[in-house]
Amino acid sequence: MSGAADREAVFPTRQSLGLMKAKLKGAETGHSLLKRKSEALTKRFREITRRIDEAKRKMGRVMQIASLSLAEVTYAVGGNISFQIQESARSARFRLRTKQENVSGVLLPAFESYLTEGNNDFAMTGLGKGGQQVQRCRETYARAVEALVELASLQTAFVILDEVIKVVNRRVNAIEHVIIPRTENTIKYINSELDELDREEFYRLKKVAAKKQRDNAETDAEMKQKRENQEALDREAGESAAADDSAPADILAVDEDEDVIF
């Protein structure tokens, strides 16, 4: 039994018993709250995992289509246009907004993509030939990037949630398996110590009472003895007083009594 070892270092007093009881109650409330939080997070986590799976499959498809459309551009234009594209791009058309989502007190970043309208830096690329393919390829890649953004925000949420769930579960387990048993042990210990003290006190009182009784009995016996002696004396004196006036014994006149000591 871990009883003696696994408890807090407190003096077994009634005050600390009260403190411990409050602590136990707090720990139990905290435990149930954290447990609920962990469950909520896990639910969210599962949902995100499912969505990541979906997003990844979607990304695979979209990227395939996108790279094929790039091949189409190469076919139609008949050359490498990457440099022109790179140079003519001036400002980003596809932008991201970040916002935060609150799941049971955990802030998850969420990315939201949007297209800036009327921003087509290379609208004229492939004017002579292949322009339509270039534009179509651009649209396809915009969709591919959208899928990537979605996946990115899911992945970030996944990592963060994973971390948080681990911490919360650790706390739940710590409360459940360490703090609550320890507090309970401490309370048990304090109770047993207090009981021990009670018993000791009771025994002591009993001892005192027993001693007193014995002392009383002794004094009583002494008194009785003394009285008997006196009576015997009186009788002797009465016999002699009968002879000589047999005056009643004058108690006051008699020599002082021995002091009675209790």
**Contact residues for another protein, defined by CB under 8 A:** 62, 64-69, 71-72, 74-76, 78-80, 83-84, 87-88, 120, 123-133, 135-137, 139-140, 143
Provide the β-strand partners of residue 103.
Answer: 106
Least distance to another protein from the beta carbon of 70, Å? Answer: 9
**Residue 103 near residue 37, CB atoms below 8 Å:** no
Pick from 101, 110, 108, 106: nearest CA to 168: 106
Pick between residue 20 and residue 130 the one whose CB is nearest to another protein. 130
1, two tokens? 């039994």
Least distance to another protein from the beta carbon of 37, Å? Answer: 43
Cα(222)–Cα(66) distance, integer angstroms: 120
Least distance to another protein from the beta carbon of 85, Å? Answer: 10
Pick between residue 69 and residue 186 the one whose CB is nearest to another protein. 69
Cα(130)–Cα(134) distance, integer angstroms: 6
Alpha helix (H) residue ranges in the chain: 14-77, 82-88, 131-174, 180-243
Least distance to another protein from the beta carbon of 111, Å? Answer: 22
Pick between residue 40 and residue 63 the one whose CB is nearest to another protein. 63
Least distance to another protein from the beta carbon of 55, Å? Answer: 17
Pick between residue 79 and residue 105 the one whose CB is nearest to another protein. 79
Pick between residue 48 and residue 126 the one whose CB is nearest to another protein. 126
Least distance to another protein from the beta carbon of 75, Å? Answer: 5
- The phi-psi region of residue 130 (left if phi > 0; otherwise alpha if psi is between -120 and 50; otherwise beta) is left
**Residue 20 near residue 129, CB atoms below 8 Å:** no
216, two tokens? 């009383």
CA angle (194 as vertex; 188, 195 as ends), nearest 5? 90
Pick between residue 31 and residue 138 the one whose CB is nearest to another protein. 138
